[in-house]
Structure 1
Amino acid sequence: MTASDTPSIAMDDTGDPPLRPLPERAASLLARVDAPPRLVAHLRAVHDVAAQLVAWVQRHCPRLESDAEAVLFGAATHDIGKALHPAELSGPGARHEAAGRELLLTHGVEARLARFAGTHASWTAPGIGVEDLLVSLADKVWKNKRVPELEDLVVARLAGADGRPAWQWFMELDETLTAIGEGADRRLAYQMSHPLTRPQ
């Protein structure tokens, strides 16, 4: 597997599970930084879940203003820093967060889009927008991990946008996340089918 395989993992038909291709700009960036195959597969899975969340929000809460393109790009690149810190692909670590943001900025990505590499694990930090929350949520629910604190923050944004009570939004969001979570095993299997490193 070589760097030329990155666009294939990022863009080609996955079969099972069916995953949306990454945005072309994100796929190109991943190829340029020689992203490991498993990282590209992970980003593909998270991006697909982010697309599902964006579509759900647009359908059910059109009054909530958000930048769908930013969410999708953010989900497609949020862990790009793991190309520089590959040990964090299979173990804990947060060095990839700031490194990913800097890497994206170095490659000409605007700060408003590069920020997700640094905010995807910091959903309570000051200045976090709804786009950041959706990327963080996608990064959890793709593997069926539920984080009540994060989900409550999303619910608060939904309730604040259209005035319906938070409990109602909680129920609707919970139903959606449960449905998305049902595909977690297939997404995990897809990610694990790709090697952690490229053959030398």
Structure 2
Amino acid sequence: MKYVYLFLMISLAFMLACGGNQEQEQTPAAETAEEIGEEPIEPEKEYTPVNEFGEWREISSKEGDFRFMMPGEPYYAVDTVNTPRGPVEYPSYTLDTPEKHLMIGYSDMPEDLVAQAPERVVLEGAVRGVVEESRGTSVLDTLIQNDSMTARESIVTLPDDKSVMRVRAYMSGNRVYIVAATAPVSDTAGLLGRFVESFELLQHGAK
């Protein structure tokens, strides 16, 4: 399993848990697609990283209500996180090479939990879950606010001291989006910025 993907799954369980143990399992629903809700393009049963990234393209998710840029065709999968509140689906888009990892995933949180937890707390928990599981060191934490949404971002140096991860969590309604990218230190300036900054909600996120 791709380790960035694992970080995001664990962070989701961290956000939704109110105590107790969390388990995660992968559902058989996994496919390559440029747009949720449309016929998949050449479905794949297993995830396979690519050797090199290709040309950048815009990817739109109708169901997730967002769009973003990726340097190639992403792998789309819907997984399930088992929490004390029941199973929660986690759709995600992934594109990896042996040294670079790009992912966007999202999930809808229980409305009662959203009512109890301030937005900033949820976002901090999402980012912290990813950072802690990576065993990396956060070197910069940023709170991003604009008229439409709030986001939390962390830039992390990984244990090998050769790679950097940039993770950003957004919240709109009761939906949490996580954008994460990892690359060697020598190749972070363009790749991480272009990918993470490309995320955009199409309308209003979760209703």
Q: What TM-score, normalized by structure 2, do the two folds share?
A: 0.33
**Larger relative contact order, structure 1 or 2 (CA cutoff 8 Å, min sep 6):** 1
Higher strand share: 2
Higher helix share: 1
Q: What TM-score, normalized by structure 1, do the two folds share?
A: 0.33
